[in-house]
């Protein structure tokens, strides 16, 4: 692909996410979700992993997605439409899990994760500087089991949805220099031991530092590209 083509595609991809994004709805039960027919991409992670800040960066906004210093601010499935001019998909901000999560939030998430019709990918956010916690391990094992639960998965390895790791706050790991690459390799190795059906590539992100040669924060363009590819949006 030529440089001009690469630049043109980058603009197209950004436009998909940044054309008058808006908050659509909040749901605390799965039945209410079914009225929204477009493709969906679900984000979850431990409480205070930086999920709201990351989604704001994806949408090139600062305040559309509520961000709080208090862990566990997200208690519902929150739908955001990145492009109101040409709506094709939703980003779904799911409740956090872990010590500050609640059982009913986890139940809501897992019920929604079984939606085979419009859910295209689940992104599990991991704080890069903390590595995998026990709740992350349990979530990955549950998603792996869910992916294998369908008849199609057992017979032909065609899974009902895909899921992928997004490492957040990578800037904190980069500061460690010599230790950073080893830590990231360790996380990747653990993920694929726990959940072989997880997408092999982790996306490294930071909302604090800008990607080299880009006007976007680290990993934001790569994450947008993953969503576009998973949803066949271009």
In this predicted structure, what is the pLDDT of residue 56? 95
- Position 94 scores a pLDDT of 85
Q: Give the pLDDT confidence score for residue 2 in this predicted structure.
A: 58
Q: Model confidence at 177, in pLDDT bands (50, 70, 90)?
A: low
Mark out the alpha helices in the chain (DSSP H runs).
3-17, 51-58, 103-113, 134-147, 151-156, 170-174, 178-194, 220-231
Of 64-68, 76-80, 213-217, the least confident:
64-68
Percent of all residues in the chain with a pLDDT value above 90, rounded to a whole number: 44
Question: What's the token pair of residue 56?
Answer: 């704001």
How high is the pLDDT of residue 174? 84
* Of 174 and 156, the one with more pLDDT: 174
Q: What 8-state DSSP symbol labels residue 89?
A: E
pLDDT at 208: 94
In whole angstroms, give the CA distance from residue 126 to residue 160: 23
What integer pLDDT is reported at residue 191 of this predicted model? 97
- The first and second tokens of residue 181, run together, are 């690459």
Q: Which of 27-31, 35-39, 50-54, 130-134 has the lowest mean pLDDT?
A: 27-31
Torsions phi, psi of 201, nearest 5? -95, 125
Mean confidence (pLDDT) of the chain = 83
Query: What is the pLDDT averaged over residues 22-44?
Result: 82
How does pLDDT run across 88-131, given as a tens digit for each residue?
899 999 877 765 555 555 666 777 777 657 889 999 999 999 99
Say whether pLDDT at 159 is over 70: no
Q: Which is higher by pLDDT, 75 or 3?
A: 75
Q: Give the per-residue pLDDT at 115.
A: 61
User: Residue 192 corresponds to which tokens in the numbers above?
Assistant: 């694929």
pLDDT at 59: 94
Q: Where are the alpha helices (DSSP H) in 158-213?
A: 170-174, 178-194
Distances (CA, A) of 110 to 49, 96, 127, 129, 130: 19, 12, 21, 26, 24
Residues 154-172 have a mean pLDDT of 80
Q: How far is CA 21 from the centre of its chain?
A: 17
Mean pLDDT value of segment 200-220: 93
Q: Which residue did the predictor score with more confidence, 129 or 160?
A: 129
Q: What is the mean pLDDT of residues 50-61?
A: 93
Residue 32 clears pLDDT 80, i.e. is over it: no
Task: Please check whether residue 23 is in contact with residue 78, taking contact to mean a CB–CB distance below 8 angstroms.
Answer: yes
């Amino acid at each position: 692909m030529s440089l001009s083509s690469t630049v043109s595609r980058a603009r197209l991809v950004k436009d998909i996410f940044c054309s008058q994004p808006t908050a659509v709805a909040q749901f605390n039960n799965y039945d209410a979700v079914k009225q929204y027919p477009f493709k969906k991409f679900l984000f979850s992670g431990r409480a205070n992993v930086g999920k709201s800040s990351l989604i704001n960066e994806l949408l090139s906004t600062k305040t559309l997605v509520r961000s709080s210093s208090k862990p566990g601010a997200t208690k519902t499935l929150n739908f955001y439409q990145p492009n109101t001019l040409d709506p094709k998909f939703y980003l779904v901000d799911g409740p956090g899990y872990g010590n500050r999560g609640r059982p009913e939030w986890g139940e809501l998430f897992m019920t929604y994760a079984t939606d085979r019709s419009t859910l295209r990918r689940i992104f599990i956010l991991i704080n890069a500087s903390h590595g995998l916690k026990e709740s992350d391990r349990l979530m990955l094992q549950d998603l792996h089991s869910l992916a294998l639960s369908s008849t199609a998965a057992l017979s032909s390895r065609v899974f009902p949805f895909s899921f992928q790791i997004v490492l957040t706050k990578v800037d904190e790991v980069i500061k460690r220099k010599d230790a950073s690459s080893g830590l990231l390799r360790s996380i990747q190795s653990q993920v694929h031991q726990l959940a072989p059906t997880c997408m092999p590539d982790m996306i490294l992100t930071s909302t604090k530092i800008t990607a080299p040669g880009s006007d976007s924060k680290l990993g934001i363009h790569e994450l947008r590209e993953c969503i576009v590819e998973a949803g066949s949006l271009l």
